[in-house]
């Protein structure tokens, strides 16, 4: 059924692709709505099974030798994320049908990208194989690139798409290397098997590099400082994309990754410190920067960064649950990790609501700048109620779901000193950061509502509030107080199964806390009240408009590069110009230098083998004459300056080598050499005959000496490797492996059998390269310069 779900999503997507040629108005949106509805139905159907820990696993073998298979697994954690992705997806897809205009927007293309995005995220959470997870991981980067650049004629869309793509793809590559290291350590790509070998992984020398690489993947995907800068630029996407990306999809993938691998990564204090402090720094930086934004989507973007930092810090604090043995400590770890999952759920609800409200305001007012908004409560009452409830939930105000998870966050910070990795000083630091960041959160959340809905009316006010437009946000807003009053039901039915999958330990899973609204007058409650009092005072008494900034933030990696006098583009351009200078000789020299360096490193690591036996086959005068001929032609090529003469002499070397193959009784190789040499020689002659016979430059001793040196080093390396291979008596000749090629593959020609069966993957890759080259040629042949065309039309 899981693979059926993925196939169904692809079918809906293909149907939309077919509809791109149809005049269907808004029909594509409602057809696309089937995708999240079907996905929701599948996940809801499996809830009873997962509650009873009857996890669903589907295995479709692909490359079993390397344990690269399509392995799908639906456990508590994947069910939790699957429900968020699909149910929030229903709201977002319906919202998109009201937000976009069939007169001005390409709806089939938009919804195709959106379904691809949802398909990729569902693939991530269902994957039980690291390689398949990586494929879906990068597919989210590709689909988000397409969505962010949907309005591709806008420069901000282009820049936002490129920035998000570069950051997340590079982080994904780092994660992929970490997965390769996990395979080296465990010999498997199956995640559940790797988790079962967690103690072996934790004791391996590659454990810390694995942690660093997986953290790079998680931090870049979930926009953690200093990789956060791509997320505000992604606001160039249509608002439905922003609502989906921020609430339930891409930015949550990094958190999912860490939760999935917590049983392994949590064995290291380095992981605990890194995730906790990166999360807290991101939280306070994002919340402070959100106060200074004038764009409503900018406020929400930095709000997402801050909230993700908060969740990330709880994941870091609770990560030690993997190795804890003391029951009291285990209970505290369980409490914090449970809180992280619960707040992730709450964040999805209130953030989707906020983005939908902002999208409606932008749609009706034509602006998102709070400096030009105000008094909208009279014109958009339902929008105000929904956004007000969502903002207060994000700020942690009682009677709304965000209050409970914020209380649990404070409780976790207060008791951090009881955990093995933290002392009292570190605990005081993280309490201070979390408390100050929470005040900032309350300030920007309340100020956003105050200025937009209760401020002085500005600009055009003849707006209306389409009921179908605000319906998804209104429904989500209703869930916020409902969750507050029935938290334990949510905790038992939804959070508990996900928590059990995170800890991967039955005894630890039983320590999951019960959610409750009231815990008495305690320190977390006092902290919450202090946040509310201080935040309310600042919003009502301080004019925050004087702190607004319209310029991009300074402390990002691209900006720091620019202040140094360069940019990412300039460094990339310098690197490309240094390597790609259109000189073939230069490419060959660089290639061989790397080749020699690798060989020297290999000799350094293993030493120079002792040459105790050198076999030289029988030879006669004809061999010597052929060898002298090749040497003389090679020397002549150094001095000859005419291109046609060089081509003919180079062909002579090839024919001499073919004669060597004949003398060594290898007729098939000789035939291949003769055919190849004849074709290349003829093609070169035909090509050069149509060009002016411009002679090469004058002989330059320095330049030619470099070429001769490279050639001699290559020859010495190859001959040396031949001699070294001759010493390896223990290695069985490879011909034995291919001897029964007919029985194994049915191929009567052993060369064809090797290329088509034994080396099929390599041949397939070569075929893919040819296909890509063909697409490139086709694109160039059909290329039309469209610059300025829209203006002319």
CB atoms within 10 A of CB 313: 29
| Cα(643)–Cα(653) distance, integer angstroms | 16
Same domain (yes/no): 517, 652: no
pLDDT, tens digit, for every residue of 358-388? 999 988 888 888 888 888 888 889 999 999 9
SS3 367: coil
| Cα(347)–Cα(247) distance, integer angstroms | 7
Average pLDDT score over the chain: 86
Same domain (yes/no): 523, 612: no
Same domain (yes/no): 543, 613: no
| Cα(710)–Cα(714) distance, integer angstroms | 6
Please report the pLDDT score of residue 410 as a whole number.
94
pLDDT at 785 over 60: no
Please report the pLDDT score of residue 552 as a whole number.
62
Q: What interhelical angle do 296-318 and 401-414 show, nearest 10? A: 50
pLDDT at 179 over 80: yes
Please report the pLDDT score of residue 104 as a whole number.
73
pLDDT at 629 over 70: yes
- In a domain, residue 376? The reply is yes
Band of the pLDDT at 788, cuts 50, 70, 90? very low
Find the mean pLDDT for residues 768-785: 83
Please report the pLDDT score of residue 787 as a whole number.
45
- In a domain, residue 7? The reply is no
CB atoms within 10 A of CB 458: 16
Q: Which residue has the tokens 């997340």?
A: 168
Please report the pLDDT score of residue 792 as a whole number.
40
Please report the pLDDT score of residue 791 as a whole number.
41
Same domain (yes/no): 317, 442: yes
pLDDT, tens digit, for every residue of 332-352? 888 999 999 999 999 999 999
Listing DSSP states for 48-111 in one string gives HHHHTT--EEEEEEEEGGGTEEEEEEE-HHHHHHHHHHHHHHHHHHHHHHHHS-TTTS-HHHHH
Closest CA to 563 of 554, 571, 572: 554
Contact 149, 160 (CB under 8 A): yes
| Cα(727)–Cα(732) distance, integer angstroms | 12
Band of the pLDDT at 593, cuts 50, 70, 90? confident
| Cα(323)–Cα(503) distance, integer angstroms | 10
- In a domain, residue 540? The reply is yes
| Cα(651)–Cα(668) distance, integer angstroms | 19
Same domain (yes/no): 404, 483: yes
Same domain (yes/no): 455, 469: yes
Please report the pLDDT score of residue 789 as a whole number.
46
| Cα(574)–Cα(482) distance, integer angstroms | 57
Please report the pLDDT score of residue 444 as a whole number.
93
Pairing mode of beta strands 68-74, 56-63: antiparallel
Tell me which of 580, 599, 623 is where a domain ends. 580
Tell me which of 580, 598, 628 is where a domain ends. 580
pLDDT, tens digit, for every residue of 86-111? 999 999 999 998 888 767 778 888 99
Same domain (yes/no): 483, 349: yes
Tell me which of 699, 714, 735 is where a domain ends. 735
Using a pLDDT cut of 70, give the percent of the chain over it: 91
Contact 382, 465 (CB under 8 A): yes
Please report the pLDDT score of residue 566 as a whole number.
56
Structural domain of residue 776, as residue ranges? 736-793
pLDDT at 460 over 60: no
Same domain (yes/no): 638, 748: no
* Structure-token pair, residue 746: 């049915």
pTM for this model (two decimals): 0.81
CA-based R_g, the chain, Å: 32
Same domain (yes/no): 403, 512: yes
Same domain (yes/no): 457, 412: yes
- In a domain, residue 515? The reply is yes
Same domain (yes/no): 300, 389: yes
* Structure-token pair, residue 242: 């922003």
Please report the pLDDT score of residue 542 as a whole number.
86
CB atoms within 10 A of CB 685: 14
- In a domain, residue 239? The reply is no
Find the mean pLDDT for residues 593-609: 82
- In a domain, residue 420? The reply is yes
Detail the DSSP E strand segments found in 31-67. 56-63
pLDDT, tens digit, for every residue of 386-402? 999 999 999 999 999 99
Contact 430, 276 (CB under 8 A): yes
- In a domain, residue 251? The reply is no
- Mention every residue, 6+ apart, whose C-beta is less than 8 A from residue 203: none
- In a domain, residue 677? The reply is yes
Find the mean pLDDT for residues 746-757: 76
Same domain (yes/no): 717, 777: no
What does the DSSP 8-state code read for residue 127? B
* Listed range (269-278, 537-546, 586-595, 606-615) with the worst mean pLDDT: 606-615
Find the mean pLDDT for residues 270-287: 94
pLDDT, tens digit, for every residue of 136-173? 999 999 999 999 998 888 888 888 888 899 899 999 99
255 backbone φψ class: left, alpha, beta (φ>0; ψ -120 to 50):
alpha
Please report the pLDDT score of residue 462 as a whole number.
66
Please report the pLDDT score of residue 793 as a whole number.
41
pLDDT, tens digit, for every residue of 659-690? 988 888 888 888 888 998 899 888 888 877 77
User: What's the domain count of the chain?
Assistant: 4
């Amino acid at each position: 059924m899981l693979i059926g779900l993925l196939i169904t999503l692809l079918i809906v997507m293909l149907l939309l692709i077919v509809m791109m040629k149809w005049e269907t108005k808004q029909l594509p949106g409602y057809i696309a709505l089937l995708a999240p509805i079907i996905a929701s139905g599948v996940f809801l159907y499996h809830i009873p099974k997962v509650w009873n820990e009857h996890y669903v696993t589907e295995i479709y073998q692909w490359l079993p030798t390397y344990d690269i298979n399509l392995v799908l697994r639906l456990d508590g954690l994947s069910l939790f994320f699957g429900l968020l992705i699909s149910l929030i997806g229903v709201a977002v897809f319906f919202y998109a049908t009201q937000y976009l205009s069939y007169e001005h927007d390409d709806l089939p293309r938009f919804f195709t990208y959106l379904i691809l995005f949802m398909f990729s995220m569902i693939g991530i959470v269902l994957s039980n194989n690291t390689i398949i997870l990586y494929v879906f991981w990068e597919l989210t980067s590709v689909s988000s690139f397409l969505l962010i650049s949907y309005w591709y004629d806008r420069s901000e869309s282009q820049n936002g798409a490129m920035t998000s793509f570069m950051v997340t793809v590079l982080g994904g590559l780092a994660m992929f290397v970490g997965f390769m290291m996990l395979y080296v350590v465990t010999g498997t790509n199956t995640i559940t098997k790797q988790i079962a070998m967690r103690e072996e992984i934790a004791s391996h020398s590659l454990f810390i590099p694995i942690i660093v690489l997986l953290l790079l993947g998680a931090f870049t995907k979930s926009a953690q400082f200093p990789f956060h800068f791509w997320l505000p630029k992604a606001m160039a996407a249509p608002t439905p994309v922003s609502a989906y990306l921020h609430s339930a999809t891409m930015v949550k993938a990094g958190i999912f990754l860490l939760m999935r691998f917590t049983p392994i990564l949590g064995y290291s204090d380095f992981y605990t410190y890194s995730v906790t402090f990166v999360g807290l720094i991101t939280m306070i930086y994002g919340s402070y920067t959100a106060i200074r934004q004038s764009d409503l989507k900018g406020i929400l973007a930095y709000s997402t960064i801050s909230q993700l930092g908060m969740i990330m810090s709880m994941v870091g604090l609770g990560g030690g649950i993997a190795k804890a043995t003391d029951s009291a400590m285990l209970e505290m770890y369980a409490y914090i990790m449970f809180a992280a999952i619960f707040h992730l759920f709450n964040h999805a609800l209130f953030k989707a609501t906020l983005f939908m409200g902002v999208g409606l305001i932008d749609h009706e007012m034509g602006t998102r700048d709070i400096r030009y908004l105000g008094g909208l409560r009279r014109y958009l009452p339902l929008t105000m109620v929904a956004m007000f409830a969502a903002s207060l939930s994000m700020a942690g105000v009682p009677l709304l779901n965000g209050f409970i998870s914020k209380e649990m966050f404070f409780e976790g910070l207060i008791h951090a000193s009881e955990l093995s990795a933290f002392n009292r000083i570190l605990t005081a630091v993280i309490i201070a950061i979390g408390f100050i960041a929470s005040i900032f959160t309350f300030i920007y959340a309340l100020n956003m509502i105050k200025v937009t809905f209760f401020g002085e009316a500005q600009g055009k006010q003849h707006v209306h509030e389409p009921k179908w437009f605000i319906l998804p946000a209104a429904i989500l807003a209703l869930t916020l107080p409902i969750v507050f009053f029935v938290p334990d039901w949510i905790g038992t039915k939804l959070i508990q199964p996900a928590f059990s999958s995170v800890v991967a330990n039955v005894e630890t899973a039983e320590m999951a806390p019960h959610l409750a609204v009231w815990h008495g007058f305690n320190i977390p409650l006092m902290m919450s009240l202090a946040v509310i009092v201080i935040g309310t005072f600042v919003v009502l008494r301080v004019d925050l408009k004087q702190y607004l900034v319209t310029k991009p933030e300074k402390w990002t990696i691209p900006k720091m590069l620019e202040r140094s006098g360069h940019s990412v583009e300039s460094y990339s351009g310098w690197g490309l110009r240094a390597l790609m200078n259109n000189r073939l000789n230069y490419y060959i020299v660089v290639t061989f230098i790397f080749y020699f360096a690798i060989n020297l490193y290999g000799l350094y690591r293993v030493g120079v083998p002792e040459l105790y036996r050198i076999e030289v086959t029988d030879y006669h005068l004809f061999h010597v004459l052929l060898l002298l001929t090749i040497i003389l032609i090679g020397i002549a090529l150094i001095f000859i300056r005419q291109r046609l003469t060089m081509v003919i002499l180079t062909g002579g070397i090839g024919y001499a080598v073919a004669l060597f193959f004949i003398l060594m009784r290898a007729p098939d190789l000789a035939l291949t050499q003769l055919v190849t040499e004849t074709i290349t020689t003829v093609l070169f002659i035909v090509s050069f005959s149509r060009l002016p016979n411009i002679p090469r430059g004058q002989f330059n001793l320095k330049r030619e000496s470099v070429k001769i040196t490279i050639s001699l080093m290559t020859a010495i390396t190859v001959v040396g490797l031949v001699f070294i291979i001759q010493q390896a008596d223990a290695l069985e000749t490879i011909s034995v492996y291919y001897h029964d090629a007919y029985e194994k593959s049915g191929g009567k020609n052993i060369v064809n059998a090797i290329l088509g069966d034994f080396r099929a993957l390599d041949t397939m890759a070569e075929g893919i390269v040819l296909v890509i080259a063909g697409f490139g040629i086709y694109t160039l042949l059909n290329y039309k310069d469209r610059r300025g065309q829209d203006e002319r039309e």
